[in-house]
Structure 1
Amino acid sequence: MAADKTDLKARAQRLRELHHGEMLILPNVWDAASATVVVEAGFPVVATASAAVSAMLGYPDGEGAPWQEMFAAAGRIARVVPVPVTVDAEAGYGLRPRELVDRLLDIGAVGCNLEDTDHRAGGLVEAGAHAQRLADIRSAADDAGVPIVINARVDTFLPGGGIAEPDRLAEAIRRGRLYREAGADCVYPIGVRRRADIAALVAELPGPVNGNTGDELDLAALRELGVARVSYGPRFYRTAMADLRTAVERLSR
């Protein structure tokens, strides 16, 4: 185990507390170097982005990378930072609940994103089945003695979710409630772009809501609406790669 259980428990508790104070901002990282930049800038938590980590490893997003490589990359991040680390574990890679929890703790992570997309069959996992999986993961974390923070991603607003646009908000609320009842600490309706939608989600869902910035939603707006946590996904990785491409292409002229 990367850290002793007492330290992991303290980090998990700290991560949970940070969802109930000032808005938690997570500029997601992809390796030890980017994680160090985030910590040195003063952020109290490091969060990985699966799309960025898998791209860095040479694989497509959506569980295209072997879970062993994804966890190894996250472990290198957790090893170099003194703050809680939460891992974008995609849909959980088909790992059984206790195995998933053990692998997270082995690398020193105390939180995870778990999404309700079925990357093998396509579309969304049935909501009740996903809620049961979240409940089993919560139970496994309790048995392990570390209260891992579960951020339950709701993918109804994504084009591949198969939900018609008029139904996306209601379905996100339905799923979010089920996931909270199952033991998720935070609900993450990814891809919400309209102010009215995120306002409704914050009002209708019990507990913290994870949002994203966008055209209608800067940090000030999300803070005003009561969003507890803000993720940036692979945005900074893509910016870094675009800057690298520009610099390299200048050399070839």
Structure 2
Amino acid sequence: MTDTPSSLDKAETLRALHIPGTPLVLYNIWDAGSAGAVAKAGAKALATGSWSVAEAQGFRDGETLPMEFLLSIVERIVATNDLPLSVDFEGGYAIAPDDVTLNVERLISAGAVGLNFEDRVVKGKGLHAVDAQAARVAAVRAAGNHTGIPIVINARTDLFLQSKPEDHASHIAEALERAHAYAEAGGDSFFVPGLSDPDLIQKVCAQSPLPVNVMLRDVTAQVAPLAALGVGRISFGPTPYAVAMNAITEQAKAFY
């Protein structure tokens, strides 16, 4: 019988799995049950998606799921699984850096060793300015320093989710500016959900100081093409939850 890995061990393992060209693949989960199913499939780490976690409990995405509720879900996932867990923590349930630090410390206490941290203004409009978001990323890193757990920060930009695909090329310069700022503030990877053009993904991967996380919306997609572009992390966002719920609906139709 092996010893249960510590949070420190899990954080170091999760960070080491981000290898450009040999990406970490995260089939996003939403509770302890889905975590167990994905772990059984051979996953090396686990990651929640905020939309999925909220919808599974009858809430909408965008920090409407109470943080206490989220933390209890995190605790159950960690209690039933030894894999490193990254949690989609949206905007940290706060604006001010000091409040972000306190909330992330609680997330770490619940057992998470990684988090998605986005630059959109949750419950507001647009994105936080680069400097302001960098200060918030630094606040997340401070939480890791305070607790002694080097939490893995997947610094997300919503530039591409908040713009049309035909405009994505015009946002690459700002995206890279944000990548560098977030890296200097303590980020570990750079998440670009919404970006799907291979040439643009390759450009970001080549110039980002951090391993790049790309989101796939098709659970049948092949990961090799993205690996060839230099991607370091692949996730699926809300799609696994949607696919699972659709399957349940179709199965239940046979009885009604």
Fold similarity call, TM over 0.5:
yes
Equivalent position of 1:9 in the other structure: 8
Give the TM-score normalised by the residue count of structure 2: 0.90
1:249, CA displacement in angstroms? 2.2
Does the CA-based 8 Å contact 1:193-1:214 persist in structure 2? no
Does the CA-based 8 Å contact 2:93-2:100 persist in structure 1? no
**Which of residues 203, 208, 231 is equivalent to 1:205?**
208
Equivalent position of 1:232 in the other structure: 236
1:13, CA displacement in angstroms? 0.8
Separation in structure 2 between the aligned mates of residue 165 and residue 202 of structure 1, nearest angstrom: 15
Between 1:13-22 and 1:112-121, the stretch displaced more is 13-22
Does the CA-based 8 Å contact 2:74-2:110 persist in structure 1? yes
1:164, CA displacement in angstroms? 5.2
Equivalent position of 1:65 in the other structure: 65
Which one-letter code corresponds to 1:20 in the other structure?
I
RMSD: 2.1
Does the CA-based 8 Å contact 2:31-2:77 persist in structure 1? yes
1:150 aligned onto 2:153: yes
Separation in structure 2 between the aligned mates of residue 48 and residue 16 of structure 1, nearest angstrom: 16
Task: Structure 1: give runs of 5+ residues left out of the alignment.
Answer: none
Which one-letter code corresponds to 1:12 in the other structure?
A
Which one-letter code corresponds to 1:111 in the other structure?
G
Does the CA-based 8 Å contact 2:19-2:233 persist in structure 1? no
Equivalent position of 2:186 in the other structure: 183
Does the CA-based 8 Å contact 2:8-2:149 persist in structure 1? yes
2:6 is paired with a residue whose SS is helix
Equivalent position of 1:90 in the other structure: 90
Equivalent position of 2:24 in the other structure: 24
Which one-letter code corresponds to 1:82 in the other structure?
D
How does 1:118-197 map onto structure 2 within 5 Å?
118-159=121-162, 165-197=168-200
1:118 is paired with a residue whose SS is coil
Which one-letter code corresponds to 1:31 in the other structure?
D
1:101, CA displacement in angstroms? 2.6
Separation in structure 1 between the aligned mates of residue 208 and residue 60 of structure 2, nearest angstrom: 32
2:191 is paired with a residue whose SS is strand
Separation in structure 1 between the aligned mates of residue 47 and residue 233 of structure 2, nearest angstrom: 11
Does the CA-based 8 Å contact 1:28-1:47 persist in structure 2? yes
Does the CA-based 8 Å contact 1:213-1:222 persist in structure 2? no
Equivalent position of 1:40 in the other structure: 40
**Which of residues 223, 228, 244 is equivalent to 2:227?**
223
Separation in structure 1 between the aligned mates of residue 127 and residue 193 of structure 2, nearest angstrom: 13
Separation in structure 1 between the aligned mates of residue 90 and residue 161 of structure 2, nearest angstrom: 14
Equivalent position of 1:249 in the other structure: 253
Give the TM-score normalised by the residue count of structure 1: 0.91
Paired residues in the alignment total: 246
Which one-letter code corresponds to 2:28 in the other structure?
N
1:169, CA displacement in angstroms? 1.7
2:250 is paired with a residue whose SS is helix
Task: Structure 2: give runs of 5+ residues left out of the alignment.
Answer: none
Q: Deviations over 1:111-159 (max 9, x none)?
A: 0000001022211111110001111221221121110000001110013
Does the CA-based 8 Å contact 1:157-1:192 persist in structure 2? yes
Separation in structure 1 between the aligned mates of residue 167 and residue 213 of structure 2, nearest angstrom: 22
Between 1:89-98 and 1:23-32, the stretch displaced more is 89-98
Does the CA-based 8 Å contact 2:179-2:210 persist in structure 1? no
